[in-house]
Structure 1
Amino acid sequence: MLRDIVVILLVAVLVSFLVKTFLVRSFYIPSGSMENTLMVDDRILVDEITPRFGGYDRGDVIVFRDPGGWLPPSTAPERPPVVEAGEWLLSLVGLAAPDSDDHLIKRIIGLPGDRVVCCNALGQIAVNGVPLDEGSYLRLPAGQTAASADAFDVTVPEGSLWVLGDNRYSSKDSRYNQDQPGAGFVPLDNLVGRAFLITYPLDRFGLIDFHHEVFSGVPAPEGAP
C-alpha cells in the first residue's frame, strides 16, 4: 500500500514537472509595469508550447529572459538551503515561481521587420505607418495623452521583438534599453512563452486580453513574403 502511494506521488510529480517544463509555467508579477492589465503580485500562467507552433502576434503579453542589462543586479540575500530546496520542489509542480525576478513581462508592439514610430500629432504609436488606438489597455498619468514620453523610430530586426509595458510611463521596456547590447530588442530565443491566465488573487482570475483588434489594421512589413 505504501509503495503504491509513493509511486502515485512520484508519477504526479513527474507529470507536473513535464507540464511545467514543456507546456505551462507559473510566474508572479513583481512590478507595476503592466498595470492595469496585470497588477503587482498577480500570479499568472504562461503557455510555452502554442507560440512554438503558431508564433507570436502583436498584442501578445509575453514573458522573456533578460536580454542583458534590463534588470538590475540581484540584491536578494542568500536563504537557507532548506528554504531553497522547498521552493525548488514546489516549483516542479507549479506552486512556486522562484525565477520570476529574473524574467520580464511586456506586450509585443513590433514583430520582425516592423517599423515602429512614436509619436504622431495625436500622441499615437504607429506600426508600419498605421497609428494604434491603445486606449483599451494603456495606462497613462493624469494629463498625459502621448503613448510614450520619449520619441523613437525603430525597425525590428529579424529574430527579435519590440515590447512595451501597458503602464507606459512606468515601464523600463524596449525604449529605455536601446543602449544595451541588444539595442532594446528582445531576441525570440529569450522568450519563455505567452501569458494567458491570471490565477491569483481569485477576484482577478481570468484570461489575459491581448487586444489583437488594436493591431488588426497593421499591414505586413515591407518586403515580407
Structure 2
Amino acid sequence: MTTEKTGLTEPLPSSPSRADATARRSRGGWAFLRDVLVIVLVAVLVSFLVKTFVVRSFYIPSGSMENTLMVNDRIFVDEITPRFGGYDRGDIVVFRDPGGWLPPSNAPARPPLIEALDWTLSLVGLSAPDSDDHLVKRIIGMPGDHVVCCNALGQITVNGIPIDETNYIEVPSSDAAASGDSFDVVVPAESLWVLGDNRYRSKDSRYNTDQPGKGFVPIENVVGRAFVITWPLDRFGSLDFHHDVFASVPDPADEEPAKDSAR
C-alpha cells in the first residue's frame, strides 16, 4: 500500500529581472538628486536669511577710508547687533546714499546672464553687486552731538572735548589738521555725522551740506557696522573702532557752554 504525501510547498522566489534592477537604480538616482537639491535649497535659503538679517558682504570701491580700508577690500557688515545695541562714535558703518552723495551711475548694462549669476552669488554672500550704491565711513557725531573743526591743535571737538585721531586718519602731513575744511554742526535726532579716515580725500558729511540731508546720514539708511576684512587674505582681520578716542566725550546734554572771554 502506497501512502501519498500531501502538503503545501512555498514557491522559490524568482530572480529579479534586469528591468526591475534598472528601475530601482533609476529611483535611487532620482532620490539622491532630490536630496542634493533639497540640501542646496536649504543652504541657499539659510544664506539668504543670514545675508538679509545678520551679515552682508561689501567691497570697497574707493580710497576714502584708507588706510583702514583699501580699494577692493571685502568686508562683512553686522546687521543684527546694532538693532539691539545701537551705534557708537568710532563705528565704521555702511549706509545707503542719503541723496546726492554719489554721482549718477553711467556703467553700461551687463548681459542678463551675468546679472543673473551675480544676483545668485549675492544670495550667499559671494558677490556684492550693490556696493557702488552704498558708502562706508566712520561715525564721529551721534544724535545731539556738537561737532566742531577745528581747535588750535587742528583737532575735531565733540561736545567740547578734543579727540585725538592720529592713530587712524590719513592726512597730508603730521602737522595737518584733522580736516581741511572747518565745520560747526549739531547732529539732528536719528542722524549721524560721518567722516572718512582718508580725511583729505573723502566726500563725506563735510562736503554734502548742500544736499537735502545737509550732510547728515539718517540712521534708518545705515545697513550695519563693518567688523572684519575678509579679503584679500593678507589683510584678513577685525576692524578697530577706536572707541577709546571718544571715551571722554560727554553726552550732548552734559556739554559745557563756551565761556565768553569778554567781561
Q: Give TM-score scaled by structure 2 length.
A: 0.84
Q: Which deviations, in whole Å up to 9, do the C-alpha atoms of 1:92-136 show, x marking residues without a partner?
A: 000000000000000000000000000000000000000010011
Matched, 1:85 2:128: no
Structure whose alpha-carbon radius of gyration is higher: 2
| 1:72-151 equivalences in 2 (<5 Å) | 72-142=103-173, 144-151=175-182
- SS of the residue corresponding to residue 114 of structure 2 reads helix
The aligned amino acid for 1:178 is T
Q: Distance in 2 between matches of 1:197 and 1:149?
A: 29
Confirm whether residue 178 of structure 1 aligns to residue 209 of structure 2.
yes
- Within the candidate set 51, 66, 77, 2:82 is matched to 51
Report SS of the residue matched to 1:108: strand
Say yes or no: does 1:26 pair with 2:57.
Answer: yes
CA distance in 1, matches of 2:175, 2:47: 45
| Change beyond 3 A, Cα 1:143–1:212 | closer
Equivalent in the alignment of 2:12: none
CA separation in 1, counterparts of 2:213 and 2:56? 26
**Structure 2: distance between partners of 1:166 and 1:91:** 28
After superposition, residues 210-225 of structure 1 pair within 5 angstroms as: 210-222=241-253
Return the alpha-carbon distance in structure 2 between the equivalents of residues 143 and 124 of structure 1: 12
**Residue of structure 2 equivalent to 1:60:** 91
Matches of 1:142 and 1:113 in 2, distance apart?
32
1:196-223, CA deviations, whole angstroms, 9 ceiling, x for partnerless residues?
0000000000000000000000000027
Counterpart residue identity of residue 45, structure 1: F
* Structure 2 segments unaligned to the other structure (5+ residues): 1-31, 256-263
After TM superposition, the runs of 4+ consecutive aligned structure 1 residues lying more than 3 A away are none
Give CA-to-partner distance per residue, 1:140-178, whole Å, 9 cap, x none.
013652000101000000010000000000000000000
**For 1:103 and 1:168, how far apart are their aligned partners in 2?**
19
Secondary structure, in 3 states, of the residue corresponding to 1:138?
A: coil
What is aligned with 2:223?
192
Matched position secondary structure for 2:252: coil
Q: How many residues align?
A: 224
Q: Write the distance in 1 (CA, Å) between the matches of 2:133 and 2:84.
A: 25
Secondary structure, counterpart of 2:253 in structure 1: coil
Query: What letter corresponds to residue 170 of structure 1 in structure 2?
Result: R
Q: 1:36 — aligned with what?
A: 67
Residue of structure 2 equivalent to 1:6: 37
Q: For residue 171 of structure 1, what is the amino acid of its counterpart?
A: S
Cα shift at 1:75:
0.9
- Give the secondary-structure state (helix, strand or coil) at the position aligned to 2:94: strand
